[in-house]
Amino acid sequence: MFKSGFVSIVGRPNVGKSTLLNQILKTKLAIMSDVAQTTRNTIQGIYTDDEAQIIFMDTPGIHKPQDGLGNFMNTTALNSIYGVDMVLFIAPANETIGRGDRFIIERLKEADGPVFLLLNKCDLVSKEEVVKKLTEWKELFDFKEIIPISALEDQNVDTLISTIKKYLNEGMMYYPKDQMTDHPERFVMAEFIREKILYFTREEVPHSVAIVVERMSEQEDGSVEVIATIVVDRKSQKGILIGKQGSMIKKIRQNAQREMKRFLQTPVHLELFVKVENNWRNKQKYLKEFGYNE
Ligand code: GDP
Ligand code: MG
Ligand code: K
């Protein structure tokens, strides 16, 4: 009997949702960063073995909404607990339970299907602390399963997969065996660029950048040309992104290009443009244009 199902991964920003998905899929699918809110759109990662197919949704972190974009991210993240077969709620073992966690817990009561607690980052704390944290969590919610893991160090991730499989129902294979994501490659390219921007500029350029992949085309020699525009809120951000004599944008370009090459397994030529659109975060029009609306 083959099993399949949809599983949503939720939790505050930076608890390790993307790291876990990457560990499961063993590839650089969702982009990880220690800067909050890298993952904006829901990413579907598809795990397939001989017994089951699990379609994972890695959601943007749930946080207190501050603007149009924040609202959208919350809606996406919260909606992902409906209509799925299972919800994985991730909490870090090395942090105290806070208001953000309680906010999500309240919502989880409406979830379709069983909810698991994954206590992540267990590599950072002692066994005693793990036990203590688990006791605290048990009082807050009736989790179907509680699994301490380290997404980064690959601890207990195999246990997680086999436990998920136990709860899945008989079902079809929705995607071909070798397919790992349903996302268009353009989206993945944009995420590579976003990751390099966050990495090289740190806090100087806030999370308000949008990346529009204008073109992605295969050349006759098999290489791929990617043309993308980075949209920022303010002129000052444009200056930071370009850097002294273009040094910053060059670094971003070269490093993103390298990731793209690795991902696509073919030479890539990346061209980057930077454009200022005042206050685009609050303009639904742009959110739609940039693909943040369904
Ligand atoms: P997300 O915002 O929930 O998707 O979190 P990320 O997957 O982007 O991870 C945020 C940060 O936590 C990154 O720096 C990860 O390397 C780190 N991280 C994730 N999982 C673990 C873990 O199990 N152990 C440790 N020590 N760090 C982790
Ligand atoms: Mg993430
Ligand atoms: K993150």
Is residue 120 classed as helix, strand or coil in its secondary structure? Answer: strand
pLDDT average, residue stretch 14-24: 88
What number does the ligand 1 atom closest to the CA of 90 have? 3
What is the percent of the chain with per-residue pLDDT over 70, rounded to a whole number?
Answer: 76
Class of domain 3-170: alpha beta
Atom 13 (ligand 1): residue with closest C-alpha? 34
The confidence band for 240, taking pLDDT boundaries of 50, 70 and 90, is very high
Tell me: pLDDT of 206 over 70: no
* Pairing mode of beta strands 224-232, 268-276: parallel
Closest Cα to atom 2 of ligand 1: 14
Residue 63 near residue 74, CB atoms below 8 Å? yes
% of the chain with per-residue pLDDT over 90: 40
Looking at the CA of 157, name the nearest ligand.
Answer: 1
Enumerate the β-bridge partners of residue 90: 118
13 vs 5, 76, 113, CA distance in Å?
Answer: 25, 14, 23
Q: CA 171 → CA 11, 53, 144, 178, distances in Å?
A: 27, 9, 21, 18
C-alpha 16 – ligand 2 centre gap (Å)? 7
Q: Quickly state the pLDDT bin for 36 (edges 50, 70, 90).
A: very low
Beta-carbon neighbour count of residue 161 at 10 Å?
A: 15
Band of the pLDDT at 179, cuts 50, 70, 90? Answer: low
Annotated domain spans of the chain? 3-170, 185-289
pLDDT of residue 292: 43
Greatest mean pLDDT among 25-29, 42-46, 85-89 lies in 85-89
In angstroms, the Cα distances linking 80 to 191, 198, 276 are 20, 26, 32
Q: Which residues pair with 89 in a beta bridge?
A: 10, 117
User: 91 alpha carbon to ligand 1 midpoint, in Å?
Assistant: 11
54 C-alpha to ligand 3 centroid (Å): 22
Answer whether 10's CB lies under 8 Å from 104's CB. yes
For the CA of 19, the closest atom of ligand 1 is: 7
Weakest mean pLDDT among 99-103, 180-184, 197-201, 281-285: 281-285
CA of 43 to the centre of ligand 2 (A): 9
14, 88, 129, 207: which to mutate for ligand 1, most atoms within 8 A of CB?
14
Poorest-confidence range of 100-104, 218-222, 271-275, 282-286? Answer: 282-286
* Average confidence score pLDDT of the chain: 81
pLDDT of residue 283: 56
List pLDDT tens digits, range 74-92: 555 556 676 788 999 999 9
Structure confidence at residue 214 as a pLDDT band (50, 70, 90): confident
Pairing of strands 210-218, 169-170: unpaired
32 C-alpha to ligand 2 centroid (Å): 6
At 220 the pLDDT is: 84
Which class does domain 185-289 fall in? Answer: alpha beta
Of 240, 226, 223, nearest to 274 (Cα)?
240
Task: State the Cα–Cα distance between residues 138 and 151, nearest whole angstrom.
Answer: 21
Ligand 1 pocket list (CB less than 6 A): 11, 13-19, 32-34, 38-39, 61, 120-121, 123-124, 150-152
Question: What pLDDT, on the 0 to 100 scale, is given for residue 121?
Answer: 98
What is the distance in A from the centroid of ligand 3 to the CA of 245?
30
pLDDT single digits (tens) 134-167: 999 999 999 999 999 999 999 999 999 999 999 9
Q: Which of 19, 155, 198 to mutate to test the pocket of ligand 1 (most atoms within 8 A of CB)?
A: 19
How far does the centroid of ligand 3 lie from the alpha carbon of residue 32, in Å? 5
Instruction: Name the H helices within 109-169.
Output: 127-140, 157-167
Q: How far apart are the C-alpha atoms of 92 and 119, rounded to whole Å?
A: 6
Report CA-CA distances (Å) from 276 to 94, 227, 279.
Answer: 39, 17, 9
Give me the interface pTM, i.e. the ipTM: 0.97
Half-sphere exposure for 34 (CA within 13 Å, toward CB): 3
Q: What is the pLDDT of residues 91-127, one digit of tens each?
A: 999 999 988 888 888 888 888 889 999 999 999 999 9
Answering whether pTM is above 0.90, one says no
Atom of ligand 1 nearest to the CA of 33: 8
Residues facing 172 on adjacent strands: none
Looking at mean pLDDT, say which of 10-19, 109-118, 161-170, 171-180 comes out highest: 161-170
Q: Which residue from 32, 40, 76, 80 has its CB within 8 A of the most atoms of ligand 1, so it is best to mutate?
A: 32
